[in-house]
Amino acid sequence: MRVAVIGEPSGWHVGRLLAALRARGHAASCVRWRDLGAEIGCGSAAAEIASPKALAAAEAVIVRGMPGGGLEEVIFRMDLLGRLASRGTPVVNSPRSLEMAIDKYLSLSRLAAAGLPVPRTIVAQQPQSIRAAWESLGSNAVVKPLFGSCGRGIDRLQTVADLEPYVSAAEEAAGKVVYLQEFVPHDGWDARILLVGDEAYAMRRVAADNWRTNLALGARAEAFCPPPDWIDLARRAAATLETTIAGVDLLPARDGRLLVLEVNAVPGWKGLESVTESDIAGRVVACVERRTGS
C-alpha cells in the first residue's frame, strides 16, 4: 500500500509512522503541508490532480500535524484533503473530524449537544460581553485560543488586571474572539485516553506546580488504568467528533464531576509510550490497514 504521511519530516511522530509503515511492507512518504497543491482541468473529477506525486498516488493518507498558515492556507489544505476523501482515498483522521477538533468552540459545542460533560464555556467578542462573561464565571476563568495545542496561549484570569489585555484587544480590533472557560479546581492531574480505532491506551498527566497538565508545560506522564466508564466516555467523545484516532483529555474535578476537556484529532503519544510498552505507531498503521482492507 502507498501511504502519504502529512507532517514535517523531522517530526518524531512522522518518523515513527514511516518506520512502522515500512516495517509492515508499505511504501511510505512524508508530505509537508506547505508542499500541497492541486491542478484542475475540465470534464471530470479525474482532471483534478493533487500534488506532490506521493500524495496523488497515495492509497491512504495519515495526517500527523495541523495545517498551519493563514486562513486561506488552512482552508485550501483542508479542502484538498476533503477532495481526496471524496474520491475514495482514506484519510485518517477524516477532514471533517479534523475541522471539528481543531476548532475548540465547534468541538465543545458538539460534545455538549451530545450530552457529554464539559466545562462551562462562554465565547464573546465585544468588550462589555467579555467582562460580563468573566464575571459570570466567578471572576476566575481560563482563556484559550480557539485554535491551539500543547497548552500554548492558555492563561488563568483571576483579576481585572489579568482580564484587561483581552478587553483592550477587543476594543482595538472589533470582533476579537475571546474563549473563556470556568476554572475547574482539581488535584493536579488529568487523564489522556488515546483511542486507536477500537483500542484504548491511557496515562495520567501529573503537574506538581501548575494547574495546567500539559506534558509540553512540564507535567509528567504516569501509567494509569482508567475505570471502564472513563473509557466509555472517551469513546463517546471521539465518536461525536467522528475521529478514528483521538486523544481524549478527561479531568476529574474536586467537586466530583468528570469533564471532557478536549478531543485531539492529531494526538501525540511520546509520553504515553514512555510509561507503557505499547508500540502506538504500529497500532496506528494496523488501524489504517483495517480501514483500507490491506
Q: For residue range 60-94, what is the model confidence (pLDDT) as tens digits?
A: 999 998 777 888 998 999 999 999 999 999 999 99
Domain boundaries, the chain: 2-92, 103-116+185-290, 121-182
CATH number at 121-182: 3.30.1490.20
pLDDT at 206: 94
CA distance 198 to 25: 23
CATH number at 103-116+185-290: 3.30.470.20
pLDDT at 43: 66
Looking at domain 2-92, its CATH class is: alpha beta
Strands in 73-208 per DSSP E: 91-92, 121-124, 141-144, 155-157, 178-182, 189-196, 199-206
- Cell triple for residue 101? 477538533
Half-sphere exposure of 81 (CA within 13 A, CB side): 28
Nearest 5 degrees, angle CA 192-CA 196-CA 202?
A: 25
Give me the residues paired with residue 195 across strands. 200, 246
CA distance 292 to 294: 5
8 A C-beta contact, residue 18 and residue 282: no
8 A C-beta contact, residue 154 and residue 143: yes
3-state secondary structure at position 72: helix
% pLDDT > 70, the chain = 97
Q: Which residue is it, cell 476523501? A: 85
pLDDT at 44: 58
- Measured distance between the N- and C-terminal CA atoms of the chain, rounded to whole angstroms: 7
Residues of the chain with pLDDT under 70: 43-46, 148-151
CA distance 118 to 124: 18
- Cell triple for residue 128? 462589555
8 A C-beta contact, residue 180 and residue 124: yes
- Cell triple for residue 170? 477587543
Q: Which residue is it, cell 494509569? A: 224
3-state secondary structure at position 61: strand
Q: Which residue is it, cell 457529554? A: 116
